[in-house]
Structure 1
Amino acid sequence: MTSGVVIVGAGHAGSQVAASLRQEGYDGPITLIGAEAEAPYHRPPLSKAFLKTPDAKPQPLRGDDFFAASGVTFLDGAVVQRIDVAAKTVALDDGSHRSYETLVIATGARPRWPAIPGADLEGVLAMRTIADARAIRERLAHVRSVVVIGGGFVGLETASTLLALGRTVTVLEIGPRLLGRAVSPVVSDHVLTRLSAQGADIRFGTAPIAITGDENGVRGVALSNGDTLPADLVLVGIGVEPECDLAAAAGIACDDGILIDHAMRTSAPNILAIGDCTRFHHWHADRPVRLESVQNATDQAKLAARTILGHDEPYRAVPWFWSDIGDMKLQMVGLSFDADAHVTVGAPADNAFSVYHFRAGTLIAIDSVNRPADHMTGRRIIASTFRPSENDAATGRVNELFKAWQAADGLQTRAAS
């Protein structure tokens, strides 16, 4: 009997590759190993609905009967301590070993932590796992003042939720704007305006130098400018680091993530890697990237399943992301690296607009706020050979022109056949 596929990590990526293998017809054994004592769950709701509802439960990624019905062995609360590449086994923390024919590493990422005094105090938390969300929710009854370190997506989502729950929130961002690595300055300014109107105190160019507290936990945050902010809760949101220690210890090539090729293969035979823990040359950006998104994790998992089944296809999924911050649905498609022109369509004052990013005259990305049609069309445009101009965007005609282009392309295709 074959030892089959072993998947390390039961998040969005790991659970998807198990499902995709069965959907693609794989009939061998599948073992899914998750370090959390939880069935695989959706992470995005943790910073929003889960915090707002005291008795909310995690939203499962799969139905209750998925594992039994699919013949997938799920080991929850199990930590893989070592990969033996030569023996094709993984060692678990209970002393047992699992053999594999193919191993998939989907270990995700861990929150980056500030290297300042007091960062280990009770009440200094991140928002990454269900355990983090529960810990924050359980403390809320005793929390009045919150300091969020970092102006990224998860920190701002949580900040907006806590403001809606009546807490005082201060956001510290060392850079000059919010979401600086992810969206255009127009969107950054808009998010700042909306969060400030909601009551957030947002400070730029300000770094925490220490977190203060006592035996009961955190009490304040000392800043680089000499101020000290009161805080009953400190939320750390300064990015994540790929969980590649397990792979690196096994001799698998890593560099700011587990290095993979176009088909999700690592440098080790019979071992693939997917999701937030990976770094790869992206077809759209034309450079090595590490993408932390549900979309990337899901699409890489689907391709990994096909690789395991003997296909050799390049990863060509269009990158897209989303974030719900208060009454703003942010949707991003494409990667705007090196964009040299930006066209805004719609009205930020109406809380509904899009920013089209061009590089050398080619549309490469769109940031949208409450304009879902622009986002959905943008996903199809970037996957196609349609090339709208900056003027097309400025006149608001991109969606209309793409629809006409699709119709004409369909006519040409039928005529050629």
Structure 2
Amino acid sequence: MHPIVIIGSGMAGYAVARELRKLNPEQELIMICADDAYNYAKPTLSNALVANKAPEQIALGDAAKMSAQLNMQIINNSWVKSIDASSHSLSYEKDAQLNTLNYSKLVLAVGANPIRLAIAGDGSDDIHVVNNLNHYKAFRKQLEARSDKRVVILGAGLIGCEFANDLQNTGAQVTVVDLAPQPLGRLLPAHVADQFQTNLEETGIQFVLGTTVEKVSRIDNGDYLVNLANGQTLVSDVVLSAIGLQPEINLAKAAGIHTSRGILTNTGLETNLADIFAVGDCAEVNGTLLPYVMPIMQQARALAKTLNGEQTAVHYPAMPVAVKTPAAPLTVLPAPIDVEIQWETEELDDGMIARAIDADGVLRGFVLLGATAAKQRLTLTKQVPDLIPASV
């Protein structure tokens, strides 16, 4: 019997391995990954400064520790070059050698890549993205080497706003630039976004919205001149891009696996090819991409059962997302994108509750801004229908 092989050592890959080990301590398991296979929670990167965590303290275990803990062979610093579904095999490159590995079942936990804008200027190659621990180490190294700590962040989405709050709380001067007219444009209705923005601005964060970065140039003393499309210029010590992620689909596509925005799966997390599954940020489950911690954990539990011989569909209950912006505590449960909704808003002394109501009067999502509103999280979550119901 060939091993179960997991490609990817992010949260999804390790979660599947951990859940499978709870059910089956003996099944041969191999993880292959392009990085060093350190185990850590990526969401901790955007508030590590406030948490006073040095990059070295973020990792929970290296490859050797995780291999022993999970009774799993880890082949790190290796690139999977191709998958041959007909022969249940894959080829990977390690130390400039090409190797072949057979699998009984294959799990694609290959994650997502940062979207990079085409930006002119000799400083554009110095723009940081933070999508893994090594990225974060490079970002922190440059930040800590600079005395002024002026940071320009491209992108006012969830990650951009979390980093802005984290940096501002630790003495940096932060400017957030986004083409959208409001922060968290995909998650918040305009009236909530306005208040959220005001709360962050009160900490000193500056927003420049409705425009984008055209050019980043190196100037004196290691500074950068950032030219915006609206004619404005900013001087920065560090530039961070946080404009979103694109699921990694190239390997799957080349193998004949169906893809759209992500790797397409059914609720069993099965692709169109036998014995190949996808989980995590790369997986588009029943047409839905949910690159958040709770959906990944739901996927991992369901897939572990399937890999262990008990065919199991993933169940998505209503799963609110807590945005790590202490200056403006925010919990969001986005309504499904294909549902027409109306917003009903309740003003509170320290924030608001905005309910997304569909045509039948059913609560389909909500936004909780402020500490008082956050207390309604459990009550409201119970009222929202499951996104993918539990199988009967």
Instruction: Name the TM-score class by shorter chain.
Output: 0.7 to 0.9
State the partner residue of 2:323.
323
State the partner residue of 2:70.
70
The answer on whether the counterparts of 1:333 and 1:375 sit within 8 Å (CA) in structure 2 is no
The answer on whether the counterparts of 2:219 and 2:225 sit within 8 Å (CA) in structure 1 is no
State the partner residue of 2:152.
147
Question: Which amino acid letter does the alignment assign opposite residue 127 of structure 2?
Answer: V
Q: CA deviation at 1:208?
A: 1.2
State the partner residue of 1:103.
106
Distance 1:34 1:137 in 2: 24
State the partner residue of 1:298.
297
Distance 1:315 1:204 in 2: 38
1:281-360 matches, cutoff 5 A: 281=286, 288-318=287-317, 319-337=319-337, 338-345=339-346, 347=348, 349-351=349-351, 353-360=352-359
SS at match of 1:357: strand
Distance 1:310 1:222 in 2: 56
Distance 2:303 2:74 in 1: 19
State the partner residue of 1:124.
127
Q: CA deviation at 1:271?
A: 0.2
TM-score, normalised relative to structure 1: 0.83
SS at match of 1:96: strand
State the partner residue of 1:174.
179
SS at match of 1:77: coil
Distance 2:328 2:195 in 1: 9
Distance 1:316 1:184 in 2: 27
Identify if the C-alpha distance between structure 1 residues 302 and 221 changes in structure 2 by more than 3 Å, giving closer, same or farther.
same
Distance 2:64 2:368 in 1: 35
TM-score, normalised relative to structure 2: 0.88
Distance 2:129 2:212 in 1: 17
Post-superposition CA distance 1:220-252 (Å, at most 9, x none): 211112222112211111111111111111111
The answer on whether the counterparts of 1:34 and 1:75 sit within 8 Å (CA) in structure 2 is yes
SS at match of 1:82: strand
Greater alpha carbon shift after TM alignment, 194-203 vs 65-74: 65-74
Question: Which amino acid letter does the alignment assign opposite residue 112 of structure 2?
Answer: A
State the partner residue of 1:406.
none
Post-superposition CA distance 1:120-178 (Å, at most 9, x none): 63531112111121111111131532111111111111111221222221111111111
Distance 2:64 2:184 in 1: 37
Identify if the C-alpha distance between structure 1 residues 196 and 175 changes in structure 2 by more than 3 Å, giving closer, same or farther.
same
Post-superposition CA distance 1:313-340 (Å, at most 9, x none): 3332123322111333322235353342
Distance 2:122 2:221 in 1: 14
Distance 1:169 1:60 in 2: 29
1:18 to 2:17 alignment: yes
The answer on whether the counterparts of 2:154 and 2:243 sit within 8 Å (CA) in structure 1 is yes
SS at match of 1:382: coil
Identify if the C-alpha distance between structure 1 residues 215 and 248 changes in structure 2 by more than 3 Å, giving closer, same or farther.
farther
Distance 1:54 1:271 in 2: 37
State the partner residue of 1:209.
214
1:241 to 246, 249, 252: 246
Identify if the C-alpha distance between structure 1 residues 265 and 160 changes in structure 2 by more than 3 Å, giving closer, same or farther.
same
Identify if the C-alpha distance between structure 1 residues 140 and 334 changes in structure 2 by more than 3 Å, giving closer, same or farther.
closer
The answer on whether the counterparts of 2:165 and 2:327 sit within 8 Å (CA) in structure 1 is no
2:380 to 363, 378, 381: 378
Distance 1:276 1:383 in 2: 23
Question: Which amino acid letter does the alignment assign opposite residue 365 of structure 2?
Answer: A
Post-superposition CA distance 1:19-66 (Å, at most 9, x none): 111222363201122322142211111111247636351142899855
Identify if the C-alpha distance between structure 1 residues 12 and 378 changes in structure 2 by more than 3 Å, giving closer, same or farther.
farther
State the partner residue of 1:44.
43
Distance 1:91 1:206 in 2: 44
Distance 2:66 2:133 in 1: 20
Distance 1:9 1:248 in 2: 16
Distance 1:350 1:6 in 2: 49
- Residue-pair matches, total: 376
State the partner residue of 1:410.
none
Q: CA deviation at 1:215?
A: 9.6
Q: CA deviation at 1:205?
A: 0.8
Paired-residue identity, %? 27
Q: Please give the root-mean-square deviation of Cα atoms over the aligned residues, in Å.
A: 2.6
State the partner residue of 1:394.
none
SS at match of 1:364: strand
State the partner residue of 1:280.
285
Identify if the C-alpha distance between structure 1 residues 328 and 75 changes in structure 2 by more than 3 Å, giving closer, same or farther.
farther
SS at match of 1:187: helix
Q: CA deviation at 1:304?
A: 1.3
Query: What are structure 2's unaligned runs of at least 5 residues?
Result: 388-392
Query: What are structure 1's unaligned runs of at least 5 residues?
Result: 282-287, 386-417
